[in-house]
Structure 1
């Protein structure tokens, strides 16, 4: 199949591109390299068509996607804190850019699997969070992802096959600060033999899901007969930020304790997925265990 990955040089997009190549698909990556790196695609550079292009350039986009069998739409601005100060830019890229993809999907008839986010939920009353929970984002980034869901609903009614995968906290190789990963920040501190800094009291709950599992979920969603859904992509396992810091410190063997800084604006308190719909609709389940991956990664870091 001939697939396109927008934001395909980014953290999640590059893993989707790798997985597609491993499954013998044709892959074109569209990326403007705003916060992404060509080296993320180094495993299969010779097998992937890479286009330095912006999803806001509608005519160029149209020429590229017209022969696609499906589009994995990962291109987005993702920094929660930055979204407060760059609201127009976040709306342009995350909402207008997404609508460009959906308009073209309607014109050319391809399926779209795109990156939604657990940030659409905000602080929910019930945990684990089911897909039918009320959507009340706490920050402008989350608002753009909610607007994308409204667009998905609209274009689905116009006949576009579309699945929005609500990613929880994705982690793994190639994660950078642009993806705002707490794991990345903690590991960076450990690499510099510094203590992890926790924003707030550390009692925030997160559901960490491995990027390789997320890439598999994307292809399963694309190949499924499901024509419209929003699906949580997480593990269903809750972990506090304090516990995360302690796992990393323990693995490092360093005699340090985490330090607490001020809480972040727009930070969700509790985020844990109910993953039963992913299992039922897509027969997908996360396989990688966070603690195993952390132990292995920290040991590698400590050797350097």
Structure 2
């Protein structure tokens, strides 16, 4: 049995779909609540659905778990409740790491590119262990992920007990199906698609930096299917452990993204620039780009989907269909 925390969420449910397609027995740890998250699992229901509050009891009584994929987290970059974020993103991660270490069960977890903070040059996005101490996340979410990355590395450095395999993935800007419940944290691709299908222009934030043109803010946008491919590859290569970036290695501008959405939707290209919300000013990453060297050196050699191809696939196979779920 494989455990997927956050398995009813965006990335987690896509992972569950891939694992179920392989014939795996999957236990999802999540709450469905009233946001329509059940639809993320409708086509590939888990074998078990575990309430997060019951997880520790379940773990203490289970002897058949073969891997843990820890995708569950408070992932909002505007989160303000530091105590809740700490309990969810740090303490729960450490509990799962401890459990996997004692039982020697492979442990895979979601870190984030938000740990890089205001880094604005390719060489600053290094996932090497000796680069951790230099990172300065801009928000509570990024900081919490950084804290766990540091705690895990400190355990390794001190010779602490670790699982036979472990891997943390610094997810960059992920887009794709099953993200529809995420509210303000939904991908820019989906937001722009909804705008242009209403007949409006694609609206982008004006730059909050004098040295950067409006719309020239750039991110490493990764199709969710590529991210799932990386996680399954890690699962299939038990000799590989480490903290790895998970992007494409290419930064693309928001203008590129808006144009690709318009093209995929079959509407004329139109962009309107608006002021950045005050809540994002001072903590907005104007540039992200994954250094993929370490994952490539570990043996992952599959190509990543281009922004245009990924957006076209998202629109054609999901957003423009009556049932947009994976």
TM normalised by structure 2 equals 0.82
Instruction: Check the 8 A contact 1:14/1:41 in 2, yes or no.
Output: yes
From 59, 64, 85, the counterpart of 1:62: 59
CA contact (8 A) 1:102 1:155 kept: no
Question: How far did 1:111 drift?
Answer: 1.2
2:221 corresponds, among 204, 208, 216, to 208
CA distance in 2, matches of 1:192, 1:280: 45
Contact 1:16 1:215 in 2 (8 A): yes
- Alpha-carbon RMSD across the aligned residues, in angstroms, is 2.4
Secondary structure at the counterpart of residue 80 of structure 1? coil
Deviation at 1:218, TM superposition (A): 0.9
Q: Secondary structure at the match of 2:43?
A: helix
Distance of aligned partners of 1:86 and 1:247 in 2 relative to their CA distance in 1, 3 Å threshold: same
**CA apart distance, 1:37:** 0.9
Structure 2 runs not aligned, ≥5 long? 208-214
Q: String of CA shifts for 1:190-245, please: whole Å, max 9, x gaps.
A: 23232222123322111111111111211221232346411111111211112211
Cα distance in 2, alignment partners of residues 282 and 64 from structure 1: 36
Tell me if 1:74 matches 2:71.
yes
In the TM superposition, residue 10 of structure 1 has moved relative to its aligned partner by 0.9
Query: Which residue is equivalent to 2:203?
Result: 197
Deviation digits for residues 59-93 of structure 1 (CA, Å, limit 9, x no counterpart): 32423654311100000111112x1x222222221
Partner of 1:187: 193
Answer yes or no: is 1:15 the counterpart of 2:14.
yes
Matches within 5 A, 1:231-246: 231-246=244-259
Contiguous gaps of at least 5 residues in structure 1? none
- Secondary structure (helix, strand or coil) at the match of 2:259 reads helix
Structure 1 CA distance for aligned equivalents of residues 15 and 144 of structure 2: 22
Q: Helix, strand or coil: the match of 2:290?
A: coil
Distance 1:276 1:104 in 2: 30
> How far did 1:94 drift?
0.9
Distance 1:107 1:298 in 2: 44
Secondary structure of the residue aligned to 1:28 is strand
Moved more, 58-67 or 206-215: 58-67
Q: 1:255: how far off? A: 4.3
Hey, what does 1:147 align to over in structure 2? 147
Which of 197, 201, 219 is the aligned partner of 2:232?
Answer: 219
The count of residues paired between Structure 1 and Structure 2 equals: 298
Partner of 2:114: 119
SS in 1 for 2:179: coil
Aligned partners of 1:302, 1:126: CA distance in 2, in Å? 36
Pick which of 255-264 and 133-142 moved more.
255-264
**Partners of 2:142 and 2:300 in 1: how far apart?**
27
Contact in 2 for aligned 1:224/1:282 (Cα 8 Å): no
Aligned partner of 1:168 in structure 2 is 172
- Which SS does the other structure have where 2:99 is aligned? helix
CA drift at 1:43: 2.1
Task: Please give the per-residue CA displacement for 1:167-193, whole angstroms capped at 9, x wherever unaligned.
Answer: 111111112334431112112222323
